[in-house]
A = this chain, B = another copy of it.
Amino acid sequence: MLFRQLFDQDTWTYTYLIADLDTKEAALVDPVIEKVERDFKLLNELGLTLKYCLETHVHADHITGTGKLRELTDCEGIVPENAQVACASRLIKDEEVLKVGAIEIRAIATLGHTDSHMAYLVNGDRILTGDALLIRGCGRTDFQSGNAGTLYDSVTQRLFSLSDETLVYPAHDYRGQMVSTIGEEKQWNPRFVGHTREQFIEFMNDLNLPDPKKMMEAVPANERCGNVLIAK
A interface list, Cβ under 8 A from B: 4-9, 35, 38, 42, 45-46, 175-179, 184, 187-188
B178 touches A5 (CB 8 A): yes
Q: How far is the CA of A42 from the CA of B184 in the complex (A)?
A: 10
Closest residue of chain B to A15, judged by CB? B176
- CA–CA, A188 and B4, complex, Å: 17
Instruction: State the majority secondary structure of interface residues on A.
Output: mixed
For A177, the closest partner residue in chain B by CB is B6
A184 to B6, CA, bound (A): 16
Q: How far is the CA of A175 from the CA of B7 in the complex (A)?
A: 8
A7 touches B176 (CB 8 A): yes
A176: contacting residue among B8, B45, B176, CB under 8 A? B8
Known: A45-B184, A45-B187, A184-B46. A38 touches B178 (CB 8 A): no
Question: In the bound complex, how far is the Cα of B188 from the Cα of A8, in angstroms?
Answer: 22
A214 to B184, CA, bound (A): 35
Residues on B with C-beta less than 8 A from A177 are 4, 6-7, 38, 42
Query: Looking at the complex, which one of B4, B35, B176, B187 makes contact with A38 (CB distance below 8 Å)?
Result: B176
Contact A175–B38 (Cβ < 8 Å)? yes
Specify which chain B residues have a CB less than 8 angstroms from the CB of A6 in the assembled complex: 176-178
Residue of B nearest to A2 (CB): B181
Residues on B with C-beta less than 8 A from A175 are 38
Residues of B within 8 A of A184 (CB): 45-46
Q: CB distance B45 to A188 under 8 Å?
A: yes
Given A45-B187, A187-B45, A188-B45, A176 and B9 contact (CB-CB distance below 8 Å) = yes
Nearest Cβ on chain B to A91's Cβ, whole angstroms: 29
Instruction: Name the distance in Å between A151's Cβ and chain B's nearest Cβ.
Output: 23
Q: Does B7 contact A7, Cβ atoms closer than 8 Å? A: yes
Residues of B close to A188: CB separation below 8 A? 45
CB closest residue in chain B, given A188: B45
Q: Are A176 and B35 closer than 8 Å at their CB atoms?
A: yes
Closest residue to A44 on the B side, CB-wise?
B188
